[in-house]
Amino acid sequence: MKKLFLLIGFLLCSTPLVFGQYTDYNLVKEVQVKNKGVVVSAFPLASEVGAKILRQGGNAFDASIATQFALAVVYPQAGNIGGGGFMVATTEEGKKFTIDFRETAPLKSHKDMYLDAERNANTDLSQYGSLAAGVPGAVAGLFEMHQYAKLPMTQLIQPAIDLAEKGYAITQAQADLFNTYKDDFLRLNKHSIPFVKNLAWQADDILVQQDLAHTLKQIQQKGLKGFYRGKTANLIVKEMKRGNGIISLADLRQYKVKVRAALIFDYKGHEVVTMPLPSSGGILLAQMLQMTNLMGLEDKQLNSPEAVQPMVEAERRAYADRAEYMGDPDFIKDQTQKLISKSYLKQRFANYNPDKATPSSAVGDIIIPQKEKKETTHISVLDKEGNAVSVTTTLNGNFGSKVMVSGAGFLLNNEMDDFSVKPGVPNMYGAIGGKANAIAPKKRMLSSMTPTILLKDNQPFMVVGTPGGTTIPTSVFQVIVDIIDFGTDVNTAVNAPKFHQQWLPEYILVEEDFPHYTIKTLEKKGYTFKKTAKIGRTEVILVDKDGKYHAVADGRGDDSVGVE
Ligand code: GLY
């Protein structure tokens, strides 16, 4: 695999994918282009599939569907058909809407299902194995999106089938992941799975997924019934029996996506179109942007102490509200309008002290190390007609529950851990929740995914999103502030060191290269810091005033831009 960083203004020619294994592909980190659509995703082969679909006459919905199917093959740590997610779209005709294809709790679930006889939470069960899986929504979400697409679904699935059948060359990062999770795969699967082999994986080894290809063909031939009924559904239920899981045929038959009105608010003349509950992402984004707006950030510098302090304090207050008020709006009182109102946020930020860190105990009644790596994946697409699709999809942890459905070749999510398994017990992201996010049959678990589109004068201005668990809203927040308030270019906004505060734990998580001066200055005010390797992998498309698209794929991973 060749690496081409900062390939500005260069149109990637179509990868020669027709015969044999997919071994020759490029990482394209940045593109500026006019009158052509762009796709940004976590893996070059998937972005190139989306771009190819645009060249075949598809629109942003077509490209996004094909890219998601391809990610389920070439980015198996998070791309999926056994998980769920959210899509936010704005169309050239001015329609703005979201599709919620979040997983649901199975009919046999109950609020104490992960508590032992002493009522201690067993988070191993909510994170590993079949019992950790929610009812998958991804395939239903893709079919819901398809009504806005132009090409037949059969055509959009075919590239994923080819990739699974013929195989593709994995990257070093993927080889490392397969090796890291080998023991989990062996422990949690009775059958052999394609991610496990005797020798250690290396970059450029070929991964072939015949069972997955077969399942994708079922979906191609039978539509939704190819997943939620018949052979695939039976294989899922058989897997449940083997691993003490509880998803039933009735769960699969009854799964429904929800088309929800987008959460829309103004930020400095930009119309921010984002995801409402059951993702906390949109509310948190609105709260953080509006709280920092009370201070004014325009005269401050990216990642300076003067900018980071109010942003951290906005993050702290927003995440305290997440723990208390947010959950599936079909099950709880939806308090969104209050939580994002100017008067509420003014009062929420009133105890901000520029001289001193606010203790988290002062903004909410009170994480603790993360056991698991967060994994999710984001796709930003903008076609030349101006249809924008921002979609974030997840298995939750890396490779989800680590359980592959025997004979069907796809991984099941471990999304049940996004519920509050017991009030006050942190999930794998250290997030704490209470009643609002307690488990109930058919309920959707609270998410942090923040697929977002910004419009200016009713035209797309930015398409943005990222993986990263609870760090998702703070990364999206920072990219928007970097571009709009600090006036950075897109590449800087995407690749600048990120920081994250989520109420609890008290510390600020920062990337290794976060400015030392800012850390030292804020430590004197009582802030504490913890370093982490990477926060998020943000995929951004920005439209400049001449109508040129600037697409940037995050430098932290194998993320890549595809061009029509
Ligand atoms: N599973 C990560 C999220 O939904 O936020």
In order of 81, 83, 86, 232, 524, the CA distances from 138 in angstroms are 5, 6, 9, 14, 47
The pLDDT value given to residue 14: 36
Of ligand 1's listed atoms, the one at least distance from the Cα of 417 is 1
**What is d(CA 311, CA 238) in angstroms, rounded to the nearest whole number?**
48
Kindly state whether residues 121 and 233 are assigned to the same domain: yes
- Going by pLDDT thresholds of 50, 70 and 90, the confidence category of residue 373 is low
Domain annotation covers residue 91: yes
518 in catalytic set: no
For the chain, what is the domain count?
2
Q: What is the pTM of this model?
A: 0.95
Atom of ligand 1 nearest to the CA of 281: 5
Statement to judge: residues 249 and 383 lie in one domain: yes
Mutate to test the pocket of ligand 1, among 372, 376, 537 (most ligand atoms within 8 A of CB): 376
Predicted confidence band at 285 (pLDDT cuts at 50, 70, 90)? very high
Section 308-329 average pLDDT = 96
118 and 88 part of one domain: yes
Calculate how far, in angstroms, residue 399's C-alpha sits from the geometric centre of ligand 1: 13
* In a domain? residue 463: no
Q: Given 15, 123, 274, 376, which residue is catalytic?
A: 376
If asked whether residues 175 and 94 sit together in one domain, one would say: yes
Asked whether 481 and 302 are in contact (CB, 8 A), the reply is no
Ligand 1, CB cutoff 6 Å, lining residues: 376, 394, 396, 415, 418, 447-449, 469
- The answer to whether position 93 is within a domain reads yes
Q: Which residue's alpha carbon is nearest to atom 1 within ligand 1?
A: 396
Check pLDDT > 60 for residue 166. Answer: yes
Q: Mark whether 268 and 254 lie in a shared domain.
A: no
Concatenating the DSSP letter of every residue in 196-213 gives --SSPP-TT-EE--HHHH
Mutate to test the pocket of ligand 1, among 285, 392, 428, 447 (most ligand atoms within 8 A of CB): 447
Rounded to whole angstroms, the Cα distance separating 33 from 55 reads 14
**Which token pair is 517?**
């001066």
pLDDT at 372: 42
Candidate from 80, 394, 446, 466 with most ligand 1 atoms within 8 A of CB, to mutate: 394
Angle ∠(340,356,358) on CA atoms, nearest 5? 40
What's the pLDDT score for residue 434?
76
Is position 313 within any domain?
yes
Which domain-ending residue is among 437, 454, 478? Answer: 437
Same domain as 75, residue 170: yes
Please check whether residues 189 and 243 belong to one and the same domain: yes
- Residue 4 in this model has a pLDDT that exceeds 60: no
> For atom 3 of ligand 1, which residue has the closest CA?
447
Helices 516-523 and 305-325, interaxial angle, to 10°?
A: 70
Q: Are strands 2-4 and 26-28 parallel, antiparallel or unpaired?
A: parallel
pLDDT recorded at residue 371: 42
Judgement on whether residues 116 and 229 belong to the same structural domain of the protein = yes
What pLDDT score was predicted for residue 504?
A: 87
Q: Can you tell me the distance from the alpha carbon of 359 to that of 122, in angstroms, rounded to the nearest whole number?
A: 29
Q: Is residue 40 part of a domain?
A: no
CB 302, CB 496: distance < 8 Å: yes
Q: How far apart are CA 317 and CA 322, in angstroms?
A: 9
Query: Rounded to whole angstroms, how far apart are CA atoms 304 and 273?
Result: 28
Please say whether the beta carbons of 169 and 206 come within 8 A: yes
Same domain? 155 vs 294: no
Confidence of residue 308 (pLDDT cuts 50, 70, 90): very high
Residue pLDDT, tens place only, 75-114: 999 999 999 999 999 999 999 999 999 999 999 999 999 9
Average pLDDT over residues 101-129: 94
Residues 104 and 209 grouped into a single domain = yes
For residue 14, which phi and psi values (nearest 5 degrees)? -60, 130
User: CATH no. for residue 278?
Assistant: 1.10.246.130
Lowest mean pLDDT among 243-247, 257-261, 418-422, 512-516: 418-422
Q: What's the domain range around 305?
A: 260-372+489-536
CA of 332 to the centre of ligand 1 (A): 19
In a shared domain, residues 387 and 500: no
Please check the confidence at residue 284 and state whether its pLDDT lies above 60. yes
Nearest CA to ligand 1 atom 4: 447
Rounded to the nearest integer, the mean pLDDT of the chain is 93
Atom of ligand 1 nearest to the CA of 395: 1
pLDDT for residue 17: 44
In the reported structure, the alpha carbon of residue 450 is separated from the centroid of ligand 1 by a whole-number distance in angstroms of 10
**535 CA distance to ligand 1 middle (Å):** 14
Tens-digit pLDDT profile for residues 10-40? 333 334 444 589 999 999 999 999 999 999 9
Q: How far is the CA of 127 from the centre of ligand 1 (A)?
A: 13
Query: What pLDDT does residue 398 have?
Result: 95
Tokens 């794929």 found at: 553
State which ligand 1 atom lies nearest to the alpha carbon of 448. Answer: 5
499 within domain boundaries: yes
Question: Which of the residue ranges 117-121, 166-170, 421-425, 482-486 would you say has the lowest mean pLDDT?
Answer: 421-425
Name residue 90's beta-bridge partners. Answer: 96, 388
| Ligand 1 atom with minimal separation from the 470 CA | 5
Instruction: Give 471 Cα–ligand 1 centroid separation in angstroms.
Output: 10
Among the ranges given (312-326, 367-381, 509-523), the one the predictor scored with the smallest mean pLDDT: 367-381
- State pLDDT tens for residues 331-371: 999 999 999 999 999 999 999 999 999 999 888 864 433 44
Does residue 222 lie in a domain region?
Answer: yes
For the stretch 213-272, pLDDT in tens is: 999 999 999 999 999 999 999 999 999 999 999 999 999 999 999 999 999 999 999 999
Whole-number Å distance, alpha carbon 466 to ligand 1 midpoint, is: 11
Q: 319 with 284: CB under 8 angstroms?
A: yes
pLDDT score of 425: 78
- Whether 355 maps to a domain, the answer reads yes
**Is residue 343 located within the same domain as residue 402?**
no
